[in-house]
Chains A and B, each alone.
Chain A
Amino acid sequence: MNLRRTWAVAWKEWREVMRDRLFFAMAFVVPSMILLVLGYGLSLDVENIPFAAIDQDKSALSRDYLHRFIDSRYFDYRGEARDEQELDRLLAASRIRFAIIIPPRFEERLLAGRPVAVQSLIDGIFPYRTQVSKGYVAAINADFSTTLLVDYLARKQGMSEAQARRRIEPVRLETRYLYNQAIRSTWSMSAGLIMLVLMVSPPFLTALGVVRERENGSIYNIYASTVSRGEFILGKLLPYVFISAINIFVLWAFVVWLFGAPFKGDPIFFYLASLVYVICTAGIGLLVSLVVRTQAAAALLTLVITFIPAMLYSGLLVPVESMSADARFQAHLFPTLYYLQIVWGSFLKGLGWSVLWGNVLALMLYAVVLWSIGFLSFHKRPRQ
């Protein structure tokens, strides 16, 4: 290993990236852009569900019932519809996602102690949102029923409201949310996106950088010279690892200051672990560059093999534990899973070496395997 030659390759590559506007943007602008766009756009919180209602009773009680929805932060009241046809039209046009119809004689029947059926229509296009919406509706409805019951009991038995409530609800649920107390999905999501960005960006740059040389023919400068393949690979990848090492800082800053996520862990641990992850993902780019011939193909292949695992198999959207058995197996094949645990552990749980050393080890193993395959399949005397 001749460090002078390695340095020559690295320094050349660095200047090229800094001067080529497109590469510069891909190195320093695109990663932050992905974080911002997805960080704001990929919120899993179900809030402000647009809805409309028909109140066929127009009594004090029906208005009270309806206001429990209108006043909730989960729902966004879009007004009263004239008839059911209009509701259908609004639902079909996706102007509202949920509708509620209060039947005539709502108050009269309730006061008479007779049951009432309220109809709710929920858009089922997004099953996850549908389920959550249904939960909200059921909760508000149950609360309303409980209140009625408490009132009735208090009146009948002459006890205080608190007493009556204790009677009706003998088991009360006390919930405390851990790690993300406000259950804000932006906290988990923005931190998790560091995993995605660092999965996509380093291999993207690396693959394009190597394939560009092959496409131009400047790779022959390397083939025909005394630079060894190890020196070339190291020199070529060093600038991209360095760029990503800078990006770790930038992304961390965005997550903490812009998205307001807390960082509870050990910063040195997190940085070193991230560095290992970046070296590992740059190795993916190296492998991609060995199997494709054009920059276009390199870009496409890198996106496919990095984005999909980062999105689907990392645990970012769906916890790995709730995946099917084979999906869970696949998830363990990608480094994203191990790094996401490091990210969330560091940001939200305040974990460090003692708990997450196994994950770092897994990433190191990945890096060694990927770089070794890359090194062994790089030839200075290829077949074509």
Chain B
Amino acid sequence: MGEAALVSAAPDPLIRLRGFGKRYRKEVAVDGVELEVRRGEIYGLIGPDGAGKSSLMKAVAGVLSFEAGEVEVFGVRLDSEAAAERIKGRIGFMPQGLGLNLYAELSVEENIDFFAQLREVPADRLAERKRRLLAMTRLAPFRDRPMKHLSGGMKQKLGLVCTLIHEPELVILDEPTTGVDPVSRRDFWAILAELLRERGITALISTAYMDEAARFHRLSLMYEGRVLAAGEPDGIRQVVPGTLVTLQARPQIEALRRLREHYPQVEAVGPQLRVFVEEAQSTEAEAAVRGELEGLEVTAVMADEPELEDAFVALLRRRGLAGKATAEASLLVGDDPPAGGAVAIEARELTRDFDGFRAVDRVSFRVAQGEIFGLLGANGAGKTTVIKMLTGILPPSGGEGQVAGAEMRSAGQAIKERIGYMSQAFSLYQDMTVLENIRLYARIYAVPRRQLEKRIQWVITMAGLQGVEQRLTGRLPMGIRQRLALGCALVHRPRVLFLDEPTSGVDPVGRRRFWDILVKMARLEGVAILVTTHYMSEAEHCDHLALMHAGRIIADDPPERLKQALEAEAGRLLEIATDRPLLALELLERTGFQGVALFGRKIHLLARDPEQARGRIESLLRAEGVTLQHITPRQPTLEDVFVYRIMAMEKKERAA
């Protein structure tokens, strides 16, 4: 994990790709990729859906043939099925999809045993490895539980155990963390890092989360079948030198308008504005931004290193791939929600039981018209069940709710007419054109004939679908399909919109654009929006957030107040940068600091007395020979809040 000192990297590459290309019929999935992975390295492939990561990984694992270029693994050229067979004893491959490669009907132990039998692991060694791996992943108490009854995070850990049971020299993991909540993701990375280091295993791992970049020694940033940049995480950030300035300004609309004139990458995240200033040092960038905002009330200005996501967007922009997304984004972002709006969604003590198991436990919240409400929580926390009850798909076992002025229990059909719903699966007809999809949904929702054409035009403009009206939906990139799905959910102008993980797997540019539309709908049209997401950076856009855990809401506040509450309860957040983050992490954890966690290459921890903590950290690290680069107090991110709250709950449950 970002720690070259711990790895003895042999010079010979374990994986070597030259001019690698893969086509599916006429569609090019990967084109001209060069890649080298050294022994002992954790190599990352980062990119959104459709970047070609899966095709590349399957080719390396010898389970997919390809047309162009060369792939060499362990020095074997994979040019035939027979050649590919020669490497298979030494690799482990975990395909994409949470737990999909496991066998639902078999128990945890039976799954592991099956993988071990396939790989002919001797019984005595199997028993020993199983004991160790189950203990490490904390799956030991669930040995006999059928895999289908595991939570998302547990499935993912079981998948890892099954992939590692024969102790391969190389593991290839395809998006192991997609669709998993931040706490489980963190857990997963910690376990994986430990296992890989312990056995000196080389790994090729893909992810759609940009913030996981620091988990890799080196990585390739991929987009639409090509590599945008490759190298060490820090190196890639430096490909696009610049500074990230964050600030708060009032009025925000005016600030945003002025900044957009000069900077292509400006984003409003809740009350904050993020400006990426290319080719500028921190002081210089800060001054330049301040200069643009002359005469406005500007507070909390901070200059920082840009994140990988900023670099990614900049790279796309340079290659003209970002489209006009960033340039023409809405100017209404970040406005305050209308005060005193009518109640759009109200849940009162909503409860749902599934055969003796309580999925949702007395959940109450209210969302005003024009507000964006985020529902966060781990897989299986009950978010989707809440949405299903509110949309009238699932009857509640107890409690009641009101949606768009209709009582949930009595007015099932009335509710459905007043709401829009977009699921993760984008319920679009792939074999129909964009226009046909919109028209179909307009008809389904009984848009009056006179208004039909006008309404379709409105959807096309709103969702930015100009120019693709006649294209087949199935052939469109993920980001456009997602906006089309949103447009279809809005075609009957509902007052309330439900979005269940709408942005999974969409690239950062697409996600930013999507949120622009959501904010516009909320602020301009006064639509109330309820959204669930695993991207904590997106949660920052919400006006208020409810954190769910095991069917209950454990926190419900605006993002700012959630962060303040965390600071009040657990102290200031300190960010620590060192040359050996892994070792430092271990040391700090052992010393008993609160909320120690790795963020990128940096460590976050919470301290009630920052000055005293600073002294302790300095002396501790010095004693172990770790170079401390800096300790900076930071405002906690929502991810800090999420992780802290969930861990606290889990600790309490374990104690009970």
Whether A16 pairs with B103 at a CB distance below 8 angstroms is yes
Interface hub of B61, B97, B105, B106 (most chain A Cβ within 10 A) = B105
* Contact indicator B63/A380 (Cβ below 8 Å): yes
Q: Is B233 an interface residue (CB 8 A)?
A: no
B118 to A, closest residue via Cβ: A225
Complex contacts, A379 vs chain B, CB 8 Å:
65, 81
| A15 and B63 in contact, given A218-B100, A221-B118 (Cβ under 8 angstroms) | no
Interface size on B, residues (CB 8 A): 35
Which residues in window 1-26 of A have CB below 8 A to B?
A: 2, 4-5, 7-9, 12, 15-16, 19-20
Tell me, yes or no, whether A383 is within 8 Å of chain B by CB. yes
Q: Are A217 and B101 in contact (CB under 8 A)?
A: yes
Q: Are A382 and B65 in contact (CB under 8 A)?
A: yes
Say yes or no for B32: interface residue by CB 8 A criterion. Answer: no
Q: Which residues of A contact B118 (CB under 8 A)?
A: 5, 8-9, 221-222, 225-227
Q: CB-nearest residue of chain B relative to A7?
A: B117
Per a CB cutoff under 8 Å, which of B62, B101, B146 touches A216?
B101
* Bitwise interface map of B from 520 to 548 toward A, beta carbon under 8 Å scored 1, else 0: 00000000000000000000000000000
User: What is the chain B residue whose CB lies nearest that of A19?
Assistant: B105
A15 to B97, CA, bound (A): 23
Cβ–Cβ < 8 Å partners of A225 in chain B: 88, 118-119
Docked-complex contact B105 and A16, CB < 8 angstroms? yes
A223 to B172, CA, bound (A): 13
Q: How far is the CB of B328 from chain A (nearest CB, A)?
A: 37
Check B93 for interface membership: any CB of A closer than 8 A: yes
Which one of A217, A379, A381 has the greatest number of beta carbons of chain B within 10 Å? A381
Q: Is the CB of B117 within 8 A of A5?
A: yes
> What's the nearest-Cβ distance from chain A to residue B402, in Å?
39
Enumerate A337-384 residues with CB–CB distance to B below 8 Å: 379-384
Across the interface, do A224 and B63 meet the contact criterion of CB distance under 8 Å? Answer: yes
Give A145-162 as 1s and 0s: 1 = Cβ < 8 Å from B's Cβ atoms.
000000000000000000
**Residue numbers in B under 8 Å from A218 (CB-CB):** 100-103
In the complex, whether B120 has a CB less than 8 A from a CB of chain A is yes
Give the contacting residue for A381; candidates B24, B81, B93, B100; CB below 8 A: B81
Distance of A383 Cα from B58 Cα, bound (Å): 11
Residues of chain A within 8 A (CB-CB) of B63 are 220, 223-224, 380-382
- A226 and B106 form a contact (CB under 8 A): no
Q: Which residue, of B100, B103, B106, has the highest number of chain A Cβ atoms within 10 A?
A: B103
Contacting pair A380 B84 (CB below 8 A): yes
Nearest CB in chain A: distance from B143 CB, A: 16
B308 at the A/B interface (Cβ < 8 Å)? no
Closest to A383 in B: B65
Select one of A20, A226, A384 contacting B119, CB under 8 A: A226
Encoded as 1 (CB less than 8 Å from any A CB) or 0, chain B from 86 to 123 comes to: 00110111011100111111100010001101111000
Interface residues on A, range: 20 to 34
Chain B residues, Cβ within 8 Å of A227:
118
A226 touches B101 (CB 8 A): no
Q: Please tell me if B649 contacts chain A, counting CB pairs below 8 Å.
A: no
Hey, which chain A residues are within 8 Å of B95, CB to CB?
Answer: 217, 220
Q: Once the chains bind, are B120 and A380 in contact (CB under 8 Å)? A: no
Contact mask for chain A residues 265-292; partner B; CB cutoff 8 A; 1 contact, 0 none:
0000000000000000000000000000
Give bound CA distance, A325 to B172, whole Å: 58
- Which residues of A, 63-78, contact B by the 8 Å Cβ criterion? none
Say whether, besides A220-B63, A221-B118, A380-B63, A15 and B106 are in contact (CB < 8 Å).
yes
Q: Are B91 and A5 in contact (CB under 8 A)?
A: no
Residues of B within 8 A of A217 (CB): 95-97, 100-101
- A220, closest chain B residue (CB): B95
Contact A381 B84 (CB under 8 A): yes
- Tell whether A382 pairs with B64 under 8 Å between CB atoms, given A5-B118, A218-B103, A221-B118: yes
B24 partner residues in chain A, CB cutoff 8 A? 384
How many angstroms from the CA of A381 to the CA of B114 in the assembled complex?
22
A5 surroundings in chain B (CB, below 8 A): 117-118, 120
Nearest chain B residue, comparing its CB with the CB of A224: B93
Which of A4, A12, A224, A228 lies in contact with B114, CB distance below 8 A? A12
Contacts of B62 in A (CB 8 A): 223-224, 380-381
How many angstroms between the C-alpha atoms of A95 and B96 in the bound complex? 61
Q: Is B589 an interface residue (CB 8 A)?
A: no
**Also in contact, A380 and B105, with CB within 8 A (given A217-B95, A224-B63):** no
B84 contacts which chain A residues (CB < 8 A)?
Answer: 380-381
Contacts of B93 in A (CB 8 A): 220, 223-224
Inter-chain contact B110/A15, CB cutoff 8 Å: yes
Q: Which residues of A contact B101 (CB under 8 A)?
A: 216-218, 220-221
The answer to the question of B85 belonging to the interface, with a C-beta cut-off of 8 Å to chain A, is yes
Q: Which B residues, 594 to 629, have Cβ-Cβ distances below 8 Å to chain A?
A: none
**Complex interface: chain A residues within 8 A of B96 (CB):** 217
A381:B64 contact, CB within 8 angstroms: yes
Residue of B nearest to A20 (CB): B105
Name the contact of B92 in the complex, choosing from A224, A228, A380, A384 (C-beta under 8 A): A224
| Residue on B nearest A222 in the bound complex, by CB | B118
Given the known inter-chain contacts A19-B105, A382-B64, please indicate yes or no for A221 contacting B115, CB distance below 8 A: yes
Please name all residues of chain A whose beta carbon is closer than 8 Å to the beta carbon of B162 when the two chains form the complex: 221
Across the interface, A15 reaches (CB within 8 A) one of B58, B85, B105, namely B105
Q: Which residues of B contact A223 (CB under 8 A)?
A: 61-63, 93
B100/A216 in contact, CB under 8 A:
yes
A20 to chain B, nearest CB (A): 5
Name the residue of chain A whose CB is nearest to the CB of B114.
Answer: A12
| Closest beta carbon of chain B to A103's beta carbon, Å | 63
Contacts of B97 in A (CB 8 A): 216-217
- Would you call A8 and B117 a contact (CB within 8 A)? yes
A380 touches B85 (CB 8 A): yes
Q: List, in ascending order, chain A residues with CB within 8 A of B105's CB.
A: 15-16, 19-20
Inter-chain contacts of A224 with B (CB < 8 A)? 61-63, 88, 91-93, 172
A216: which B residues are within 8 A, CB to CB? 97, 100-101
In the assembled complex, the Cα of A218 lies from the Cα of B96 at a distance in Å of 10
- Shortest C-beta distance, A376 to chain B (Å), equals 12
CB of B83 to closest CB in A, whole Å: 9
- What are the residues of chain B within 8 A of A4 when measuring CB–CB? 117, 120
Report the separation of the CA atoms of residues A325 and B81 in the bound assembly, to the nearest whole angstrom.
Answer: 45
Segment 296-344 of A: residues with Cβ below 8 Å from B: none
- Across-interface contacts of B89 in A (CB, < 8 A): 226
A7 to B92, CA, bound (A): 21
Closest to B83 in A: A381
A251 CA / B88 CA spacing, docked (Å): 44
A233 to B92, CA, bound (A): 21
* Shortest Cβ gap from A381 to chain B (Å): 5
For B61, what are the chain A residues with a Cβ–Cβ distance below 8 Å?
220, 223-224
A130 shortest CB reach to chain B, Å? 45
Q: Is the CB of B92 within 8 A of A8?
A: no
Question: What is the CB-to-nearest-CB distance from A41 to chain B, in angstroms, rounded to a whole number?
Answer: 34
- Shortest A18–chain B CB gap in Å is 8
B110 cross-chain contacts in A, Cβ below 8 A: 12, 15
Q: Which B residues touch A15, using CB under 8 A? A: 105-106, 110
Report the separation of the CA atoms of residues A227 and B102 in the bound assembly, to the nearest whole angstrom: 17
CB distance from A342 to the nearest CB of B (A): 36
Shortest distance between the CB of A12 and any CB in chain B (Å): 5
Q: Hey, which chain A residues are within 8 Å of B58, CB to CB?
A: 220
Nearest B residue to A2 by beta-carbon distance? Answer: B120
CA distance A382 to B64 in the complex (A): 5
A226 to B110, CA, bound (A): 19
Per-residue B-contact encoding for A201-232, CB less than 8 Å = 1, 0 else: 00000000000000011101111111110000
Listed by A's residue number, 17 A-B pairs whose Cβ atoms lie within 8 Å are A5-B118, A5-B120, A15-B105, A16-B105, A216-B101, A217-B96, A217-B101, A220-B58, A220-B93, A221-B101, A222-B118, A223-B63, A224-B62, A224-B63, A224-B88, A224-B172, A226-B88
| Extra A-B contacts (8), CB below 8 Å, given A15-B110, A223-B62 | A12-B110, A221-B101, A221-B162, A223-B63, A226-B88, A227-B118, A379-B81, A382-B63
Residues of A within 8 A of B (CB): 2, 4-5, 7-9, 12, 15-16, 19-20, 216-218, 220-228, 379-384
Which 4 interchain pairs have the tightest Cβ spacing?
A8-B117, A224-B93, A223-B63, A19-B105
